[in-house]
Amino acid sequence: MEKDLNINIVEVTRIEGHGNIVIDVRKGRIKELRFDIIESPRFFEAMLRGRRYDEAHHIMSRICGICAVSHTSASLKAIESAMGIRISRQAALLRKLAFSGEMLQSHILHLFFLVLPDLVGAGSIVPLLESHPELARRTLGLKRLSNDICAVVAGRHIHPISLVPGGVAHTPGTGELKTLKKRLEDSFRELDALFEFLSGMPAPEFRLEREFISLKARGEYAAYAGEPFSSMNYPMDSISFRKRIKEYMVPHSAAKHAKSPRGTYMVGALARVNNNFRQLRPTARAIAKKAGLVPPLTNPFQNNMAQLVECFQMTEDAVAAIDKLLEMGPRPEPLKRPKAYGTGIGMVEAPRGTLYHEYRINKDGIVERAECIIPTAQNLRSIEDDLRGFIPGILHMPKKEISGLIESLVRAYDPCISCSTHIMDVRFV
């Protein structure tokens, strides 16, 4: 179709942070397509320089209010790896529990506050509270529960408190853990309801072969733990990750873009389900199958459903972590002290994908250099590529619908622009 189209979406809404979409189609051909990041950069690498190691996690948590547990965890893993600290089993279980809480919280927030309005043609959740009160009640309950998981372990979910170098500085009581477990077990009902609703609203069709990168762990679904893995199956580990992934500046963006040796790749829930399908726990795997999310996956719109599959997974993970903690009998432990100094890497699967922190810490415990690779930055190239692939197929539609679909596609990535403007890596291609 020989069509002209000019779309300029200023500040895409219902995503984390500020981004514009600019599309210019002349005679059916895309002349220009940009996803501009207009968030103010914050310069975390400069902020961290010269600060003490035991402030680093506190500062880096402030990269993002939504994935604060992830940034804290990656930061702590980097500090601990640089300083020769091995945390206890109890501390690792507590961190994993908080991690499950955050992933659940982030996904529910995305699905309920940001995606559901699209599906029912509303601008926000406000009309949903009236039109779907039961669904709203259930989902708000799930969100409350996920907040409370983080609160029990870490004091709160936005900028967790007790997760510190050397372990976890607060020990939840047995009673609190038991209550949480009961609530988690009951919450499958609510997740089922959300699944029923979402599966009644199928994702737009769109197929594009792609590379997925995520962590992969032994014996568990990668979240807090694991080593990087590509669906293209070439060798990669946390040490080589920064060499494999090239970050580069593009003129229109305050955030860097990234590419793998194969080019464009995607990170996040869809990548994790694709790469770690076999490690899904039974309920989550059953849901994935029911939703048709069986690898190899190709449709980025399905990222929403992959997030819901992970809500099941995180709920099961949280119950399992609580069971182990109750079996051990949680008790206050001293924090492990630093034994060394040098460079350390910390990687986790944040809700939006693979997150990398690397610090160099000197013998006085001062951070000399910090570098991060953040999920959304890794997805920016994929978002633009997907838009390029997706738009020709919908050009026949009215402009308003095209805009709506484009925003939905961007939103499906759940981009966290607050995070991505805080890229600190200084190497360029």
Partner 1 sequence: MRDFERPKAAFFSFTSCEGCQLAILSCEEALPEILKRIEVVNFREAMSERSDDYKIAFIEGSVSTEEEIARVTKIRERADFVVALGACATTGGLNCLKNRFPMDDVKRIVYGKDAGQIETVPARPIDSVIKVDYRLHGCPISGKEFLAFFADLVMGRSPRTPNYPVCVDCKMAGNICVFEKGMYCVGPVTRAGCDAICVTYGSVCWGCRGYVDDPNVNAHRETLKRYGLTAKGVAQKLDLYGGKKQ
Interatomic CA distance for residues 282 and 242, integer angstroms: 34
Output the six-digit token pair for 82. Answer: 């640089």
With the CA atoms of 407, 409, 412 and 417 taken in that order, what torsion angle do they form, in degrees rounded to the nearest 10? -60
Task: List the x/- string, 47-86, binding to partner 1 by CB under 8 A.
Answer: xxxxxx--x--xx--xxxxx-x------------------
Which is closer to partner 1, CB of 99 or CB of 229?
Answer: 99
> CB of residue 322 vs partner 1: minimum separation in angstroms?
18
Does position 263 interact with partner 1 (CB under 8 A)? The reply is no
Q: 383: which 2 tokens?
A: 């978002």
Site string for partner 1, 227-256 (x = CB under 8 A): ----------------------x-x--x--
**Joined tokens for residue 302:** 């399905």
Restricted to residues 91-110, the positions that interact with partner 1 (CB under 8 A) are 109
Q: How far is the CB of 156 from partner 1 (least distance, A)?
A: 7
Angle at alpha carbon of residue 416, lines to 370 and 39, rounded to 5°:
80
Q: Is residue 418 part of the contact set for partner 1 (CB under 8 A)?
A: yes
> Judged by CB under 8 A, which stretch of 38-46, 76-84, 214-222, 353-361 contacts partner 1?
38-46
- Please list every residue from 295 through 324 that binds partner 1, using CB under 8 A: none
Q: Rule CB under 8 A: is residue 119 a binding residue for partner 1?
A: no
Torsion of CA 369, 370, 371, 375, to 10 degrees: 180
* Residue 383, φ and ψ in degrees, nearest 5: -60, -45
Least CB distance to partner 1 at residue 221 (A): 25
Tell me the closest approach of the beta carbon of residue 232 to partner 1, in angstroms: 29
The footprint of partner 1 on residues 128-187 (CB under 8 A) is 129, 140-141, 143-144, 147, 154-159, 161-162, 164, 168-170
- The nearest distance, CB 73 to partner 1, in angstroms, is 15
CB nearer to partner 1: give 186 or 237. Answer: 186
CB of residue 203 to partner 1, shortest distance in Å:
19
Q: How far apart are CA 343 and CA 353, in angstroms?
A: 23
Question: Judged by CB under 8 A, which stretch of 15-23, 217-225, 349-357, 389-397 contacts partner 1?
Answer: 15-23
Q: Which residues touch 82 (CB under 8 Å, ≥6 apart)? A: 53, 340, 341, 342, 343, 344, 359, 360, 361
- Comparison of 4 and 55: residue with beta carbon closer to partner 1: 55
* Least distance to partner 1, CB of residue 98, Å: 11
CA distance 229 to 151: 32
- Distance from C-alpha of 246 to C-alpha of 75, rounded to nearest angstrom: 21
| CB closer to partner 1 out of 308 and 424 | 424
Determine how β-strand 211-216 pairs with β-strand 265-266: parallel
| Cβ neighbours of 120 (radius 10 Å) | 14
Q: What are phi and psi of 48, to 5 degrees?
A: -80, -25
Question: CB 154 → partner 1: shortest distance, Å?
Answer: 7
Beta-sheet strands, E only, within 186-301: 211-216, 227-230, 246-248, 257-259, 265-266
Residues that bind partner 1 (CB under 8 A): 11, 13-18, 40-52, 55, 58-59, 62-66, 68, 109, 113-114, 117, 123-126, 129, 140-141, 143-144, 147, 154-159, 161-162, 164, 168-170, 249, 251, 254, 418, 423-424, 426-428
